[in-house]
Amino acid sequence: MNKQSLKSWALICLALSLIVFLSPINIWWLSWYRVAENQLFNLSLDLIRIGLLTLTFAGLLAPFEALGWWAGWYGNNPDPKQQPLLKKNSTTYRAQPTSDQDNTNHYIIYLDGIGISSFEDAFGVGTFLERLTEAVGSEFILIREIMPYSVFNLPLTLGRPLAAFWRWVNQSKISGLGVLILLRNMFQVAVSVDSRYGPIFNRGTAQIIIDSLLERGYRPGSGTPVTIIGYSGGGQVALGTIPYLKKVLAAPLEVISLAGVLSGNTEVVKLEHLYHLVGEKDLVARFVPFLFPQRWAFISWSNWNLAKSRGEISFISLGPVGHDDIGGPLDDTSYLPDGRSYLTQTVEIVTKILLREDGIEPFPANVPEKAYQPRILSNYERYLQAPFNQYTYYPTKQSVPLGYQPVANWIGRLILPRLEERSEIKGIFLEIYYVPKQYQDLIGKKVILSWSDRADLQVYLNQVKCSIHFSAQAYESMKQGIVHPLRLNFWREIDALESLVGARPIDDVIVALEPVKIISEEQQPTLYIEREPTVITGRFYGLVTILGKVNQSDHFRVCHYNPTSQQFDGDAEIVYLPQVIPDLNGVFPSTTNKIEDSPVNSTGWYIYGEFNQDQVFTVRAIAPRALFQLQPQRIISGVSATTNYIHNEYWQDIKAQKGQIDSILLNPKSLSETEAIAQYQEGDRLLLLHTYGGIGGKKAEVPPIGLFFGHFAFGIATVIRDPITQELRFKIVYDQVYTQNLDGIIAGNLDWSNYLGDRQFGWLGSRPVVDIIVKLDVLEEYNFGGNIRFPLNALAYQLEKMMARYRTGDGTGATFAGLANSCVQDSCQALYLAIKMVLTEIKSNSEIQNWIAAYPEDPQTKRLERLVALYNNIQRKLVPWKTVRSDWLDPYESLIGTRLAEQPVTTIISALTSWRSLLPRLANDQLAEILLQHGASLWLLRTNQVGGWDEEIEPIAPTKLWI
């Protein structure tokens, strides 16, 4: 029986009961009471009937206050005389911002139970909040003057037509009258739960909370965490406000439920964490789960059960404690066996939650605290068994060798700070490997790496901050050998740098930084960056041709490129190309077998690496020079021919092309060869579409259902002048939206040398790869009289947010590819949001609009019009049903780390809504064809298991499934 059927039967039973008990037809079954002629009994019965009728009527009227607020019946500016007055002696209310607020690092909201009728503290509340305030210290601001059962924040005793009645109820000594307040507020809790009126009520309550925070100096977007403590019905109201608070505050939110009456139909999954405190004698809180199907265990796809499976709910037993009043969690006169009062225990638990240290969770969710043994050894752990894959194998201080160039101006190794260091440095550490000449004294030192304080950058950082509580699925995934950010488990407010360095179990992430601002201090310099670092392999690179092995060892003789002769007749050198470790399937990521006979050896290899402890240059990554040169092997011209090539040809016959590369320029405008190549100028930043295929042959990987869907990513290809050859070439960095995996590949900005070229961790030698570089003027920079907008910057911004979320699994520690969330779905979402963001900014900026109006025929204005046309075309393709996914419109709606079994209906609907971005190759080809139709020049770079020769594998094209 589904939820709707249960509701229907409940309403039918209620209606029949009312008809029988409250209407005249009940005379026949009450006639025997008439015979008794007991007037007192009859009067009592009539009073009960009138009471039930009144109660029913009151329940039906319960939503009207919220509806009136939403409809504006009470005006936009209610009479201030009717507004509740905050208590002047409140220890938490500040009429004006004070300097103390600058030191505030946490806000607490208290929502009282259903017994509240005024701003006077209910039983035990005042003492509880006073002790809590003393315990947590001055860094916390506590906000307590909120009426959780009124969208106007009006107590029952003020500003209402029945205020005098409620004051009489409060002051009356008649026993049992207080139940009227309980019933009235209980109906408001029911409104919060109701799927029809709840969104209105919860939004109104959220507005009250937001206004209260703003009055206390809270800055939305600052990332300052907020904890809501909800007692009894206040717990349900707190959870109801979460989606609205999350959108406005863009900050970590937690809820502490004290004997909370929680329905389970709230969006609890959007919380950082829920702590649910319940006593063993609390019959109310323990009966509630039976009332709401969303909390039934077999409805696994409900928000409540989804949050439980994601490790976002901690259940905390209070022992022999009841629901409220005497014997409740705020009772200071009842005692536990250890001598503590119930109130003391509650204060201690809440204080532990608020003051918990990073890495220590005093009340973990009901999931294992560590992965069980035995487990599968990950590829990452296997690879680290080889010394040359360990960062300690290479001396920290090295100078640039003759014939080599540094990979970047700033290079270093990321280091995660210890827990006790974290609050002091406000960033992470970086061990310096290479710097510009003026900072040479920093090489080998450990400096602080932190984010710039630029306002828009801080907004981005606060959007991706989260706390990590490993889900049960994350622990299970670890047993399968998947590399998860275990070091960050139970850390709070993890930012993008911490999630990058913490993605692996040890500090072995080597990065390039650009641009960098350095502030030197007496103790430790600090580097400030504005972009996420790029993961690289090797500090230095050279250009060589490989001559052959030396004495059948892993040492090879190479000859360097001579810039003067432009031939490979430069210095000879012996370099170390160690045999790499095979993966779990026995596949070698790369091989040196017959590498000197490779078709691309004659044009040279870029070799990336550094000197080992024996002062021999160790080649950790390779890249075929011809692949990056602006010298296409083939040019295809015309819209029809180029579209057909994308649609039908570019993945054909890849088995016959094993070991080879292709560089193919698609020229839809039919320019001459010289003109087509001349479009690419030094400094150009170009969009890149990346796909890879599978590994076949004797050691083939086994894809699900016999199909290999491959992988998709965006990237940026920059046209640079190579320092060694002085010729133009492409430099590629991928924006990899990548789930946790066996190989330790991190979701982030990955240099080509790391993601593909790395001999141990890359895919160059084992997978077929196609990169499509897009040259399209509508994606280039716009300058509207000094107002600059760049679509590729917007795409990088959206992708960096998505990659940071993938690294943390939205707080679960695990991200799983599925129908609705995957490398291709979420990359396409980022593209959609990026172009939309640029167009929205242009439309809402009056200066830009004035410029466009003044120059309607300017080429830039016409280019903008074509960008709008491109956006509309992409939207039609990616959103075929003309219904944009809710999580594409609002990223907070998506849940990275959720699997199909946990949200089957939502996942399938989302997948169908954006089915053209469901498969990597299908989405890639759709986008490529759209770009061709809009005049883009596409440069395809193909590699098919390039490097040495491995007889036991062969390339497999990704499945397209033309639909």
> Would you state the pLDDT for residue 467?
87
**How do the residues of the chain divide into helix, strand and coil, expressed in percent and rounded to 5?**
40, 20, 40
Spatial distance between the Cα atoms of 472 and 783, rounded to a whole number of angstroms: 50
Mean pLDDT of the chain: 86
> Would you state the pLDDT for residue 10?
54
Length reported for the chain: 963
Of 513, 514, 544, 534, the closest CA to residue 608 belongs to 544
Containing 230, the helix (H) or strand (E) segment is: strand 226-231
Q: What is the pLDDT of residues 653-708, one digit of tens each?
A: 899 999 999 999 999 999 999 999 999 999 999 999 999 999 999 998 876 566 78
Contact between 310 and 898 (Cβ < 8 Å): yes
Domains of the chain as residue ranges with CATH: 3-58 (no CATH), 104-354 (3.40.50), 401-535 (no CATH)
> Would you state the pLDDT for residue 85?
34
Orientation of helix 3-22 relative to helix 39-61, angle to 10°? 140
Only one residue has tokens 């091989």, namely: 591
Provide the 3-class DSSP secondary structure of residue 108. Answer: strand
247 exposed, middle or buried (CB, 10 Å; 0-12, 13-18, 19+)? Answer: middle
Measure the CA angle with vertex 465, ends 875 and 685; round to 5°: 50
Residue 891: Cβ within 10 Å count: 17
Measure the CA angle with vertex 186, ends 183 and 187; round to 5°: 90
Which two structure tokens, joined as six digits, stand for 352? 């532990």
Cβ within 8 Å of residue 343, ≥6 positions away: 124, 127, 128, 131, 329, 330, 331, 332
Provide the 3-class DSSP secondary structure of residue 645. Answer: helix
Provide the 3-class DSSP secondary structure of residue 6. Answer: helix
Euclidean distance between the first and the last CA atom of the chain, given in angstroms as a whole number: 37
Spatial distance between the Cα atoms of 363 and 311, rounded to a whole number of angstroms: 11
- Give Cα 731 distance to the centre of its chain: 28
**CA distances, 727 to each of 198, 561, 628, 723 (Å):** 64, 13, 10, 8
Strands 661-667 and 634-637, how do they pair? parallel
Cβ within 8 Å of residue 858, ≥6 positions away: none
Cβ within 8 Å of residue 811, ≥6 positions away: 272, 310, 312, 466, 467, 468, 469, 897
Spatial distance between the Cα atoms of 232 and 258, rounded to a whole number of angstroms: 6
The stretches in the chain having pLDDT less than 70 are 1-61, 75-103, 366-374, 521-522, 703-706, 819-820, 879-918, 961-963
Spatial distance between the Cα atoms of 393 and 395, rounded to a whole number of angstroms: 7
Of 748, 227, 192, the closest CA to residue 510 belongs to 748
Q: Which residue type sits at 772?
A: I
Q: What is the pTM of this model?
A: 0.84
